[in-house]
Structure 1
Amino acid sequence: MTDTTTTQRLAPQTGTAFELPAGAYLRVIDPNGEQVSDLYAVSADDRAEHLSSGRSLDYAGKLWLTTGDMLYSNRSQPMLRIIEDTVGRHDFTLTPCSQQTFDLLYPDHEGYHPSCEQNIADALAPYEVAVDHIGVSFNIFMNVVYDCSTGKMLLGPPMSRPGDHILLRAESDLIVALTACSAENSNNGTLKPIDFTVDH
């Protein structure tokens, strides 16, 4: 693996998208700790093929994916394999936060709020991916806690510490969107940057 880029930084509450060819490596780094990054991907060859939480969790047989696990598409094709993971706790059940998320879940909130859904949509727009085609994201470093007796889901502080990372390898030609999550409750109340590198 040869480093072909420098580390890039996403400012708090922002996102980006880029092409990730088969065999390339994406490293997502939490520079300050306790910060979530939403990842979404579509096939570079066919935008209708996209990251699938349902397929990935079904085939892994577990909720929390980590080193060695595969992220699959809606067509059951491998998209990304987790090569390294220094945290081991990520969410693959919740959709990216949207304006409606803040309007519905946080009644004290008023007006516009930056969101991962909008940041992903804006980043993927040049690739002709519409907002309605954005599904469940792989929420890197997000810590969702489950009450096994009631099924209730609670957001805990991310378990990532400064410098923690996850390394993923593209198993096919992809277009990947990545964010520095915009939801205060997902990031223990403080919004921070996310770093990433792409290596070939």
Structure 2
Amino acid sequence: MTATLTVDMELTHDTTNMVIPAGQGLAFRIRAGDRFRLVDPEGGQVGDLFAFAASDPTEYLSAAHTRTSVSRLFPRVGEPFLTNRRRPILTLTADTSPGAHDMLIAACDPARYEAFGVTGHASCADNLRIALSRLAITTPVVPQPVNVFMNIPVGADGDLSWLPAPSRPGDAVTLEADMDCVIVVSACPMDLNPINGDRPTSLAIEFVAPRT
């Protein structure tokens, strides 16, 4: 059985798989109760995940409000991600990866790459805006993303380390929508530090049939 979901240009697709090319982004709509997997086909790739309330894009998944609610740097399986209005928007229902994920690091943007001396580089912030524009949606802010598979351990002294994503080929997280929402995933294009290993690669979205 496949899940029927509304994606991209308001077209309804009966599909269970969409590929996000390396360095690019994808937006899709999902209804409350539906589930999707974010899959790392080759391993070692970070995915910047954003979620917006379908009825009002000024309500969005907030890392800060989520950390406050779960009293952790990242939810455990079975715990929700909250919006900036303190409402559950997604719940983490499964995780086959080693469990390294991040909600501290901002999305890469043109200014980040310019600091490295590079102009015109693809970024997760631009991928967010481009993907949303395909659904005729704009956002005045780039929220703090959920950086799936990103490995940024916090040392005892508070220092952050930038390590390669430890996800293995085929590792995935499964998320359930707690409200109708718009999801954006960026296959992070960062290639100037080690978070994506040797090179950025693609990610995939697999839709999961709703619970019966």
Q: TM (normalized to structure 1)? A: 0.92
- Tell me which amino acid in the other structure corresponds to 1:121: R
Tell me, in whole angstroms, the C-alpha distance in 1 between the residues paired with 2:58 and 2:203. Answer: 28
CA deviations on 1:54-107 (whole Å, 9 max, x unpaired) are 110111111132311210000010000000001211111112100111112x2x
The question of whether the paired residues in 2 share the 8 Å contact of 1:29 and 1:166 is answered with yes
Tell me, in whole angstroms, the C-alpha distance in 2 between the residues paired with 1:3 and 1:93. Answer: 35
Q: Percent identity?
A: 29
Larger helix share, 1 or 2:
1
- Corresponding residue of 1:91: 102
Tell me, in whole angstroms, the C-alpha distance in 1 between the residues paired with 2:118 and 2:24. Answer: 20
Tell me, in whole angstroms, the C-alpha distance in 2 between the residues paired with 1:129 and 1:154. Answer: 33
- Tell me which amino acid in the other structure corresponds to 1:170: A
Structure 1 unmatched ranges of 5 or more: none
The question of whether the paired residues in 2 share the 8 Å contact of 1:121 and 1:129 is answered with yes
- Corresponding residue of 2:77: 67
- Corresponding residue of 1:76: 86
CA deviations on 1:24-56 (whole Å, 9 max, x unpaired) are 101000000000111101100111111101110
Distance 1:133 1:110, change over 3 A: closer
Tell me, in whole angstroms, the C-alpha distance in 1 between the residues paired with 2:111 and 2:26. Answer: 21
- Corresponding residue of 1:160: 167
Tell me, in whole angstroms, the C-alpha distance in 2 between the residues paired with 1:152 and 1:17. Answer: 33
- Tell me which amino acid in the other structure corresponds to 2:125: E
Tell me, in whole angstroms, the C-alpha distance in 1 between the residues paired with 2:138 and 2:150. Answer: 24
Tell me, in whole angstroms, the C-alpha distance in 2 between the residues paired with 1:50 and 1:110. Answer: 30
- Corresponding residue of 2:190: 183
What CA RMSD, in Å, does the superposition of the two structures yield over aligned residues? 1.3
Tell me, in whole angstroms, the C-alpha distance in 2 between the residues paired with 1:127 and 1:93. Answer: 29
The question of whether the paired residues in 2 share the 8 Å contact of 1:65 and 1:89 is answered with no
Kindly report structure 1 stretches of 4+ aligned residues shifted beyond 3 Å: none
How far the C-alpha of 1:7 sits from its partner, in A, is 1.4
How far the C-alpha of 1:3 sits from its partner, in A, is 2.5
Q: TM (normalized to structure 2)? A: 0.87
- Corresponding residue of 1:35: 45
Structure 2 unmatched ranges of 5 or more: 4-14
